[in-house]
Amino acid sequence: MAERALTYSFIYSTETLAFSILAFLLFTYYRGLGRQYVKLWMLSLSALAVNQFALACESIFYQQNVGSTLDISFALLRQVSQYFHILFFIFGIYAATKEKNVTKKMQVIGISSALFIGCFAVLFYGFDTQSVFNRFYLRESLAAFIFGSAFIASAFYLFSANINHFSGKIFLIYSLLVGLRYISYSFASIIFITEDWFRYLTQNLIYLDMSLHTILGFIILIWMQGAERHVASTAINRAKYLGKHDSLTGVLNREQVLEKLTNEMKISLDQNQALCVFLLDIKHFKFVNDTYGLKIGDLILGEIAQRLNQSLLKPKVVGRLSGDSFMYVIESENGKQQKTAAEHLHALIERPYFVSQEEVHLQCSVGYCQYPCDAEVADELLQKSNLALFQAESNNIQTVKYESGMQSHGRHLLAMEKEIKQAISNEEFILHFQPQLNLKNNRLEGAEVLVRWQHPTKGLLAPGQFFDDIEALNLYSELDSYVLEKTCQTIAKWYQTYKRRVPLAINITAVEFQAPDFISNIQALLIKYAIPPVYLELEVTENVVITDIDLVMNTIVVLQNMGIKVSIDDFGTGYSSLAYLRKLPIDKIKIDRSFIQEVASNDSDLTIVKTMVELSHGLGKRVLAEGVETQQQLQLLRNIGCDAVQGYFISKPISEKEFTKYLKRK
Ligand code: C2E
Ligand code: CA
Ligand code: CA
């Protein structure tokens, strides 16, 4: 008996040492890998070491009386550590296979249950010397049953999780074996407890357990080795991947795009096929970044990349060229197919993005060109698609296909953009003034401000010579703001020097008129230069009115309330009708020059002008005729009842210096 106790305690002590070392090994792995499952297995093996330690002590102090403090303490230690061992083992399997962490809540529930069952098994009947059997059932049979069930359950879980690697399979077999061992022991311990053979079996189970524990140690070690290798290889792959790919979106970066495109070009040349190179630019992406933050912006870019990559058209190349622009290449030479592809791209981008319970909607511009007909090197293909994209963006068209001729135009625009911006900051744009004559009192009513570009090399340029570029470059707003401020400065300056204020009318483009801060800008300028609002008049074309009647109506009402006058420019050339204008609280209608040209010689034009004047007066608006070049025209307009005129017959648009002379003369 004493000899066997010694053998047992030797075996248990050896296992204690072995599992302590293993647990320590796992601890070093945990420090390196930092995965939760490693920590859980480390705890499981530590619990096993404690369990073996308790068993070793128990076998030495076997003679101790039932119910003594020593007996209860060792039993408690053994039971609780045993449950902890299985608990952390199964948690570890869950965390390792699911690649998810076991939540705090799950851990608390597990630990408290293990503690509860352990204490219950030890303390119930623990102090009752008579209840040998009950005590045995609680400490051995119940424990074996819970153990067995837990292992069988984990075997089932591993089976259904379908883990393919080697250590996963051994884990499954191990769990199944251990589970069967404990379940059958649990039942046998209840039925055959008094049989001799059962006692003999129990005494020798220690050797089976020892082998099973050894196997467990090996499995965990093999698993760790595999995990380490996996981590190392993914790290290497990731490094390779990051080198090639845009780390944010997981698609190719600029250099890789060009490299891959070159490869694809070779392949399609060999196969006698054509490619279509699309460039996409997400509109107003800055707005997303500003509103939702850079992190969300990055997530959305990632989603865009994913949508492009997974698109039905099986793209040959998908890459991100810069901030919010992407390249997308497909095999195609059929024009119709390419159009459909572009529509597909718009649909992909326009599908809503879900960001913290909100829907974000985006749009893009698309430019594309073809290989080999448009260019034969990747760089040039990119450049040509870019030109098409530029056209799309500046003209607010969804999709533009590259056409020859765009290239020189693109280069021209690029140069102009720099030049115009520089001209604005160098104040090369100057104001000319064209007087407006009031026909009722024959006095100067005010002047229209017309911009000129005092170009350093090309001389004085009229708007017709640079407005196309300004429009293509979307720089109208900048120019309008500039002219607005210069005009306010001028009114203030004339007041200071000549103690005289002249109402000035400025042309405002549709974009600027509808800009959100348009009104506040004007207000700020009026305050800055101390100008009474009645000296400022804004000219907008009819087309402004019909773009967004409600918004325009609001703006005009606010301007009117501020005391600023608004007039409709080029009247008769747009799409609106007088009926439309009736609703708008504007002051003045400016009849377009084309109607005035023929008033003297063409009866129908005279009738039209007459009707315009009568209708306008009927609506309570004043009428100014533009482009009056002759005495005859002036006389006719006077007879019709026109309120004011403007035109070469009165004066051409003149420089500031000439205009002040003109003022003094009058
Ligand atoms: P608009 O507003 O209709 O300006 C009148 C244009 O007709 C001016 O051309 C003026 O020189 C010209 N004009 C005036 N009287 C006569 C005439 O009796 N006969 C003829 N044949 N022409 C006459 P300009 O200065 O070349 O301006 C052209 C257009 O450019 C303007 O048309 C206006 O739409 C735009 N523009 C001019 N300055 C500005 C500005 O500061 N901002 C904005 N947004 N547009 C401007
Ligand atoms: Ca005008
Ligand atoms: Ca006009």
Q: Between 468 and 422, whose confidence is greater?
A: 422
Which pLDDT tens digit goes with each residue over 602-645? 888 888 899 889 988 988 899 999 999 999 999 999 999 999 99
Query: Is residue 653 in contact with ligand 1, taking CB distance under 6 Å?
Result: yes
Which pLDDT tens digit goes with each residue over 162-199? 776 677 788 888 899 999 999 999 988 888 878 888 88
Atom of ligand 1 nearest to the CA of 626: 15
Q: How far apart are CA 93 and CA 98, in angstroms?
A: 8
Ligand 3 center from residue 243 Cα (angstroms): 58
Q: What percent of the chain has pLDDT over 90?
A: 44
Q: Residue 640: what pLDDT?
A: 93
**DSSP E strand stretches across 268-355:** 275-282, 317-322, 325-331, 353-355
Second CATH level (architecture) for the domain 2-241 = Up-down Bundle (1.20)
Query: Is residue 507 in contact with ligand 1, taking CB distance under 6 Å?
Result: yes
Q: How far apart are CA 204 and CA 181, in angstroms?
A: 13
* Residue 373 contacts residue 349 (beta carbons within 8 Å): no
Residue spans per domain, the chain:
2-241, 254-404, 414-660
Atom of ligand 1 nearest to the CA of 592: 3
pLDDT band at 459; cut points 50, 70, 90: very high
Specify the residue with its C-alpha closest to ligand 1, atom 37.
450
Question: Looking at the predicted structure, is the pLDDT value of residue 398 above 80?
Answer: yes
Q: Between 455 and 120, whose confidence is greater?
A: 455
Q: Return the amino acid letter for 170.
A: I
Taking residues 491-501, report their average pLDDT.
Answer: 91
The one-character DSSP state at 534 is G
pLDDT band at 222; cut points 50, 70, 90: confident
Closest CA to 211 of 186, 174, 180: 174
Q: Residue 441: what pLDDT?
A: 95
Specify the residue with its C-alpha closest to ligand 1, atom 19.
627
Second CATH level (architecture) for the domain 254-404 = 2-Layer Sandwich (3.30)
As a whole number, the mean pLDDT across the chain is: 87
- Identify the weakest region by mean pLDDT among 19-28, 225-234, 512-521, 623-632: 225-234
Which pLDDT tens digit goes with each residue over 303-336? 999 999 888 888 999 988 877 889 999 998 888 9
Ligand 3 center from residue 627 Cα (angstroms): 8
Specify the residue with its C-alpha closest to ligand 1, atom 28.
463
Element (H, E) at 590: strand 588-591
Q: Residue 38: what pLDDT?
A: 87
Q: Residue 575: what pLDDT?
A: 57
Q: What is the pTM of this model?
A: 0.52
Query: Is residue 462 in contact with ligand 1, taking CB distance under 6 Å?
Result: yes
CATH superfamily of 414-660: EAL domain (3.20.20.450)
Closest CA to 353 of 399, 292, 290, 278: 292
DSSP string of 347-396, one letter each residue: HHHHS-EEETTEEE---EEEEEEEETTT-SSHHHHHHHHHHHHHHHHHTT
Taking residues 497-525, report their average pLDDT.
Answer: 90
Q: Which of 507, 624, 637, 652 to mutate to test the pocket of ligand 1 (most atoms within 8 A of CB)?
A: 507
